[in-house]
Structure 1
Amino acid sequence: MDAGVAYFPTHDALGPAALARLVEERGHRWLMWAEHTHIPASRETPWGDIAGAPPLPRKYARTYDPFVASAYALSVTSALRVGTGVALVAQRDPITTAKEVASLDHLSGGRFDFGVGAGWNREEMADHGIDPRTRMRRLREYVLAMKAIWTQHEASFHGEFVSFDRIWSDPKPMQRPHPPILVGGAGPTVLHRVLEYGDGWMPNHGPGIIERIVELRERADRPIEVVVMGAPSGDVDVLSAYENAGVDRVLFWIPSGRRSVVERKLDHIEATMAELHDRPA
């Protein structure tokens, strides 16, 4: 099991390029960004759509666009894989997003990972003109439409929310047929989405994940990567359980702060992973 980091790239913390250089220099292989275009000040939807959730951290409203952050990170690194963890696809135009993903992947030599999700903040979706009740259907359809754009010279797609006939959109992604699509979420129907259009499953750390990994492996007819987001950086027993369950990668959240804050967290993560790898098999 390998490890990477996830980050809210805020304007008042270590920037995307500096962070990417630091993460690559220290031997990490993955860097994933959170996405929120904005946070409605009403704050009617609880954080994570969970009743009784604590107040939302300020970083949620202060993030750079993850595709812009990715461009900065990819331009100053040579081996680091960079991606979205997750892009709120239901709030995005699929033709424009397909172009952004393909451009980043092509310019980086095939180092972009595309984490996708439907989102949880209902007011944020509504500000984009999206009915939250349609977000799962939109996520599915937008991903399928983007796949058509990436894999067809003259792409066509006709669905409930997006429809186009015979479009040209180059460059195509460097990775074939397209960058890995990591489906986020841990709701009751998420494995259906993973199996239909995902290359991997990227749930948040939490109860029941290991049991659902077993279910995923039993149902899948192809290799599907499992990436656990927000793994506890100081709990070797939990990480060992994930490794034994066949998790391919864990992602640790790095605090949005100055370089010294980030480096302290990286020290902690690396010590934890070293302890895990030193355990007897």
Structure 2
Amino acid sequence: MKFGIMAPHQYPFDEDLGERLRELTGLVEHASNLGYHSVWTINHFLSNLATPQPISMMARLIECSGEMRIGSGILLLPLFNPVHVAEEFATLDQLSGGRVTLGVAAGYREHEFKALGVDMASRFRRLDEGVRLIRDLWSGRPVDFQGEFYSVQADRCGVPPVQPGGPPIYIGAGSQKAVRRAARLGDAWYAPGNSPNPSYLSKHVSAYDEALEEYGRADQVVDRPIGVELYCAPTTEQAVEEALPHARREYYSYAEYPALRWQRDRFDELVRNTLLLGSPELLIERIREYEALGFDHLIFRPMWLGMPVEDARRSLELFAREVMPAFA
């Protein structure tokens, strides 16, 4: 089992963004020194929180992340031209010495698509076409590509990636149809671990595995990542006391968007079924459940809105000392 962190670069607008970003780079460096495997960035436009953009954030994190893999979790690919993404991520791959992963998804916030002039109904077709074009460009050969949305004629990517064939591509997906798309297109399915439905993961893992077999790609998957919310303290009571108010504030901010309104209405279910707030012993037990489902890369947000960075550092330290060795 590998462990990574989601860089929490979303902040209230009344906070000092420069200071928060300095805290974040220090937190990532601390995670690297503690032996965490990866760090991931967030993508939204015109957000209700100050949200620095992921490609710029990844470039900044290269120098403070040691040997960690650096990924986008998740880039909203339909809102970008895939030629731009292919060249940016190949550049990041060069700058990082081959430590980059491209995580993409279709998006869900209507106002982002409207503001950027992209028909939201086309987002899944754009995702499919974009991934295929990016892979072609990373081949190193001149590309002839004529799609519904994008066209390249006998041109090659201006930046060769370090990793052969380019960085791995993870596909974020929630519905069973989207999970099947991830099996067909991606090097991995980036699974969401925050469904309040206790049977969600087992059903969707089965759908993913069946689709991999159907597409003949079972041997091509490089990773089994899942994104969760996690906080570690000496006792579960202390973990809940220190983390829950901040997690609630963050989830309530997401619930301002219609597609995520359920997160406010069902927050207590989220706490019971998905938020990993607890002692090392409890977290080991809960993570074993993910391991039994086949997941081998746990990526978690180490802090939420308003949480002191010192609390996040202590949580990362305790988790690295008492939980990670159980999965070595």
Q: Which residue identity is paired with 2:228?
A: G
TM-score w.r.t. length of structure 1: 0.84
Which residue of the other structure, out of 258, 270, 287, is the alignment partner of 1:239? 287
Runs of 4 or more above 6 Å deviation? none
Which residue of the other structure, out of 21, 31, 35, is the alignment partner of 2:39? 31
Sort the Cα spacing of 1:109 and 1:278 in 2 relative to 1 into closer, same or farther, 3 A: closer
Q: Which residue identity is paired with 1:227?
A: P
Say whether the 8 Å CA contact 2:42–2:73 is kept in structure 1. Answer: yes
Report what 1:54 is aligned to.
none
TM-score w.r.t. length of structure 2: 0.72
Offset of residue 35 of structure 1: 0.5
Report what 2:139 is aligned to.
151
Say whether the 8 Å CA contact 1:240–1:276 is kept in structure 2. Answer: no
Say whether the 8 Å CA contact 1:233–1:268 is kept in structure 2. Answer: no
Which residue of the other structure, out of 214, 226, 229, is the alignment partner of 2:227? 229
Offset of residue 23 of structure 1: 1.9
Q: Secondary structure at the match of 2:299?
A: strand
Aligned residues: 260
Q: Secondary structure at the match of 1:35?
A: coil
Counting only pairs closer than 5 Å after superposition, residues 84-123 of structure 1 correspond to structure 2 as: 84-123=72-111
Runs of 5+ unmatched residues, structure 1:
40-57
Say whether the 8 Å CA contact 1:14–1:256 is kept in structure 2. Answer: no
Identity %: 24
What RMSD over aligned residues (CA atoms) do the two structures have, in Å? 2.4
Q: Which residue identity is paired with 2:209?
A: R
Q: Secondary structure at the match of 2:192?
A: coil
* Structure with greater helix percent: 2
Runs of 5+ unmatched residues, structure 2:
11-16, 213-217, 230-274
Counting only pairs closer than 5 Å after superposition, residues 1-281 of structure 1 correspond to structure 2 as: 1-10=1-10, 11=17, 13-15=20-22, 17-39=25-47, 58-59=48-49, 62-205=50-193, 206=195, 207=197, 208-220=200-212, 221-224=218-221, 225-231=223-229, 232-234=275-277, 236=283, 237-255=285-303, 261-272=308-319, 276=323
1:103-150, Cα deviation, whole Å (9 max, x unpaired): 001121110111101111011111111111110110111111111111
Sort the Cα spacing of 1:129 and 1:121 in 2 relative to 1 into closer, same or farther, 3 A: same
Larger CA Rg, structure 1 vs 2: 2
